[in-house]
Structure 1
Amino acid sequence: MWRMWLLFDARRALIGLFTFLMVLALLIHFILLSTARFNWLANPNPPGGGAQTSQIETPLRIG
């Protein structure tokens, strides 16, 4: 493993790796933002997803 770092400069390899991962993360996020299902900016509360339900009170029958 140590011989691999003799071929590559560690600083340039890590900067390249982090740059690639950042571009990949941004690409994935923009792809998700372009879909209607996963766009969390245009419609933060999707219909039917987190709707609150009200309780219906029923009288208690004893006997």
Structure 2
Amino acid sequence: MAVTWQASAQVIIPLNHAGGTGPGFRAQLLYFLDDLAPSLVAVAPSSWSRIAGIVPDR
């Protein structure tokens, strides 16, 4: 079974006053919809450029 989610965390430390006055924290939880429900994604991302006419079929 493929991994259908990804978690990440970051500590943000400003380098100057324009960046803020103290450290911050960011957390993300990402879900990959093409793995969770493949029927929702009708076209594979690798073929998007061919559909848009950017790259011709080989």
TM-score when normalising by structure 2: 0.25
- Higher normalized contact order (CA 8 Å, seq sep 6+, divided by chain length): 2
User: Greater helix percent: which structure?
Assistant: 1
Max Rg structure: 1
TM-score when normalising by structure 1: 0.24
